[in-house]
Amino acid sequence: MSHGSSPGHGHDGSHEPSPYIELDREAWARLAHQVEDPLTEAEITALRGLGEQLDLQEVRDVYLPISRLLSLYVEKAGQLHREQEEFLHRATPPRTPFVIGLAGSVAVGKSTTARVLQHLLAHWPEHPNVALVTTDGFLYPNAELQRRGLMQRKGFPESYDRRALLRFVVDIKSGKDEVEAPLYDHLTYDVVPDHKVRVEHPDIVIIEGLNVLQPARTREDGRTGLAVSDFFDFSVFVDAKTADIKDWYVSRFLRLRETAFRDPGSYFTKYGALSRDQAVAEATRIWDSINGPNLAENVLPTRSRATLVLRKSADHSVRYVRLRKI
Ligand SMILES: Nc1ncnc2c1ncn2[C@@H]1O[C@H](COP(=O)(O)OP(=O)(O)O)[C@@H](O)[C@H]1O
Ligand SMILES: CC(C)(COP(=O)(O)O)[C@@H](O)C(=O)NCCC(=O)O
């Protein structure tokens, strides 16, 4: 194999056989050359709109080959669908959307990665309609979290209406043409009442959230139910050193303090008045009491369940990509 680390020769130097293929950045970026469609000007403009910090060379080197690989999976899943229907002698019903789960810590870059992949995947003509749904809409509203004593556990598995989220994914994979998800607003720090996000006739649905790779829970009667991840056709885990993620969280908090927190409608207007040092202390407190423990206890343990792991360095550049063997 000419590309990067061979299987079993991972970044940790281990020579044990492993069920993963690991490609370092250089090897992965080489794949970009075999991706025939370069980005169009319109796409570059759209991607720039996602945030001035996004490095477009990084998009070309790393995210474009990922989108091509994903497109390959989508295409082959369609082929398998047709052949299965033929084997079962069924009049081929339309295939269900291809569902991609995207997991990782708060502030690791899930939303950014999801939006880039959404744009890039929509570029391939075989599947133009790519929907993106975040799981925060399925958090219990603040009033309910307060009632359950979970306001300081936002983002932990128990802070979500897991049944509703599972129902949503089951509906998508059942082939329902239109599905609706609740919406979360980061400004008010709460679920928006009476407002839904509608997903219509998607070819691909990206479901992004902290806990999407959680395995099913074992119930009191000892039976194991289903988890949303049981309905994923592919999954991505965005990964980085915990210390780096904490820095990104604090920096984002400081940036929000200068922008969104000043909005009178924001739950965080109180933070607008904080000095820089006080804001760093507050972000650190939230990280150390909520997001850090959630990462360690619930999010990180699901990493090895992902089909693909994207490991980022402190400057957000992807250091290596780990993919499950098939
Ligand atoms: N590829 C990237 N390049 C540069 N900055 C990034 C990248 N991905 C994320 N960031 C920055 O890191 C922070 C967290 O990213 P975000 O996508 O909001 O994380 P999440 O959705 O996981 O909470 C944001 O400030 C974002 O601008
Ligand atoms: C809303 C979130 C739980 C993320 O939800 P997700 O979309 O990953 O399901 C998270 O961004 C959050 O607000 N956590 C609570 C602690 C904090 O204020 O950072």
* Angle in degrees, CA 193, 207, 8, rounded to 5: 150
Question: For residue 256, what pLDDT band results from cuts at 50, 70 and 90?
Answer: confident
Distance between CA atoms of 180 and 176, rounded to whole angstroms? 11
Mean of all residue pLDDT scores within the chain: 90
Q: Verify whether ligand 2 is closer than 6 Å to residue 294 (CB atom).
A: no
Q: 120-179: per-residue pLDDT in tens?
A: 998 877 778 999 999 999 999 999 999 999 999 999 999 999 999 999 999 999 999 899
Residue 113: count other Cβ atoms within 10 Å of its Cβ: 22
pTM of the predicted protein model: 0.93
Amino acid present at 43 = E
Question: Is position 292 annotated in a ligand binding site?
Answer: no
Question: For residue 13, what pLDDT band results from cuts at 50, 70 and 90?
Answer: low
Distance between CA atoms of 192 and 134, rounded to whole angstroms? 14
pLDDT at 5 over 60: no
Ligand 2 centroid to residue 106 C-alpha, Å = 6
**Dihedral angle, C-alpha 248, 253, 259, 262, nearest 10 °:** 180
Strand-pair partners of 73: none
In this prediction, residue 7 carries a pLDDT of: 42
pLDDT at 12 over 70: no
Q: Name which of 4-18, 91-105, 269-283 the model is least confident about.
A: 4-18
Question: For residue 205, what pLDDT band results from cuts at 50, 70 and 90?
Answer: very high
| Percent of the chain surpassing pLDDT 90 | 65
Pick the closest to residue 211 from 49, 103, 65, 60 (CA basis): 103
Q: For residue 305, which phi and psi values (nearest 5 degrees)?
A: -85, -15
Question: Is position 105 annotated in a ligand binding site?
Answer: yes
- Ligand 2, atom 8: closest residue by C-alpha: 209
Question: For residue 3, what pLDDT band results from cuts at 50, 70 and 90?
Answer: very low
The CATH architecture assigned to 20-213+225-324 reads 3-Layer(aba) Sandwich (3.40)
Q: Verify whether ligand 2 is closer than 6 Å to residue 99 (CB atom).
A: no
Ligand 2 centroid to residue 153 C-alpha, Å = 10
Question: For residue 272, what pLDDT band results from cuts at 50, 70 and 90?
Answer: low
Domain ranges of the chain: 20-213+225-324
Ligand 1 centroid to residue 109 C-alpha, Å = 4
Distance of CA 49 to the CA centre of its chain: 19
In this prediction, residue 137 carries a pLDDT of: 98
Residue 61: count other Cβ atoms within 10 Å of its Cβ: 19
Q: What is the sign, positive or negative, of the torsion defined by CA atoms of 284, 285, 287, 293?
A: positive
More confident of the two residues 9 and 215: 215
Distance between CA atoms of 202 and 206, rounded to whole angstroms? 10
Q: Are 121 and 204 in contact (CB under 8 A)?
A: yes
- Ligand 2, atom 2: closest residue by C-alpha: 155
Distance between CA atoms of 21 and 322, rounded to whole angstroms? 6
Distance of CA 62 to the CA centre of its chain: 16
- Ligand 1, atom 15: closest residue by C-alpha: 109
pLDDT at 115 over 80: yes
Q: Are 133 and 196 in contact (CB under 8 A)?
A: no
Pocket of ligand 1 (CB under 6 A): 51, 53-55, 104, 106-112, 248, 252, 316
pLDDT at 55 over 70: yes
What's the N-to-C CA distance of the chain in angstroms? 16
Question: For residue 8, what pLDDT band results from cuts at 50, 70 and 90?
Answer: very low
Q: 3-state class of 23 per DSSP?
A: strand
Q: Are 137 and 184 in contact (CB under 8 A)?
A: yes
pLDDT at 1 over 50: no
Nearest ligand atom owner, CA of 189: 2
Distance between CA atoms of 104 and 276, rounded to whole angstroms? 27
Residue 149: count other Cβ atoms within 10 Å of its Cβ: 8
Question: For residue 2, what pLDDT band results from cuts at 50, 70 and 90?
Answer: very low
Q: Verify whether ligand 2 is closer than 6 Å to residue 118 (CB atom).
A: no
Q: Verify whether ligand 2 is closer than 6 Å to residue 155 (CB atom).
A: yes
pLDDT at 6 over 80: no
Element (H, E) at 212: none
Question: For residue 23, what pLDDT band results from cuts at 50, 70 and 90?
Answer: very high
